Amino acid sequence: MKYALLLLAAACANSLRAPPPIESLAAAPSAAAEDLMKQADAAWENRKEQAARAEDLYLQAARAQPANAAAWSGAIRAKAFLLGREKDSSKRGALASTAVAAGQTCQTQAKAPACDYWLAAALGLQARERSATAHDALPHMVELLKRAQQSEPALDNGGPARLLAILLLRAPGWPLGPGDPEAALTEAQAAVKTAPAYAPNQLALGEALRKNGQDFRAAYAEALRLAEMASDPDAADWAGDARKALH
């Protein structure tokens, strides 16, 4: 164990750095912030074809109105979507690092619970792309998600509790990390209580139940049912995850 800790310490890198100027994160606004947000939201609804456009428009809106937490949040969400479909590792790394920078800028400019939540999500993306940052990122993520959950638990359909549950399920346990399956189950249950009709919350609950040795099939079955009824562009992915877990 001591050897593993030494290796982890040697590989550790800072997950947070001073963010660059807004001008380097976003193009100059091509319209008023309100109009840019409308265009960005419309592009996001068609994200399988227009995610990059949504990202650019959200960033333009953020530059036009730096205190607009929804603009920064939308940009990070779009970056996460693009990263999940990008095969080039250098481009994935750039998306992750700029997502973190956007989250930090959101915190300083907007000071909203959404900034904490999406910065935590961005740190998770960066940790996946640059594993050396994971050890430093994990405690930051836990703190940010707990703060967002306390301030606005309904954010992103119970997102703070849902993401915290997933983090606690998949992170290494003490002393290497904050992993805690029992605490994860409590958080997953909180997410379901906040938004029971949101399929990803049921997926998180199913994963937590399984990790704790409890019957998980009902949660995954409910996730599948909800996903098949949903009109969200990501619903097919949710349904696929549920089917995989059930079979």
Helices marked H in the chain: 2-11, 22-25, 33-45, 47-64, 69-85, 89-109, 113-129, 134-151, 159-170, 181-194, 199-211, 217-229, 235-246
92-116 mean pLDDT = 96
Average of per-residue pLDDT values in the chain: 93
- The SS3 of residue 173 is strand
Residue 8 confidence (pLDDT) above 60: no
Confidence bin at 148 (pLDDT 50/70/90): very high
Q: What is the pLDDT of residues 50-87, one digit of tens each?
A: 999 999 999 999 999 999 999 999 999 999 999 999 99
Whole-angstrom distance, CA of residue 67 vs CA of residue 115: 10
Whole-angstrom distance, CA of residue 5 vs CA of residue 185: 27
Confidence bin at 16 (pLDDT 50/70/90): low
- The SS3 of residue 198 is coil
Q: What is the pLDDT of residues 159-193, one digit of tens each?
A: 999 999 999 999 999 888 999 999 999 999 999 99
202-215 mean pLDDT = 98
119-137 mean pLDDT = 92
Q: What is the pLDDT of residues 79-97, one digit of tens each?
A: 999 999 999 999 999 999 9
Confidence at residue 17, expressed as pLDDT on a 0 to 100 scale = 72
Kindly report whether the peptide bond that precedes residue 200 is cis, defined as omega within 30 degrees of 0.
Answer: no
Beta carbons of 178 and 139 less than 8 angstroms apart: yes
Confidence at residue 108, expressed as pLDDT on a 0 to 100 scale = 94
Confidence bin at 6 (pLDDT 50/70/90): very low
The radius of gyration computed from the CA coordinates of the chain, to the nearest angstrom, equals 18
Quick one: angle between helices 199-211 and 217-229, nearest 10?
160
206-223 mean pLDDT = 98
Written in H, E and C, the secondary structure of 52-100 is: HHHHHHHHHHHHHCCCCHHHHHHHHHHHHHHHHHCCCHHHHHHHHHHHH
Residue 194 confidence (pLDDT) above 90: yes
Confidence at residue 12, expressed as pLDDT on a 0 to 100 scale = 66
Q: What predicted TM-score, i.e. pTM, was given to this entire model?
A: 0.91
94-113 mean pLDDT = 96
Non-local CB neighbours of 22 within 8 Å, separated by 6+ positions = 62, 63, 66, 105
Residue 3 confidence (pLDDT) above 60: no
144-150 mean pLDDT = 97
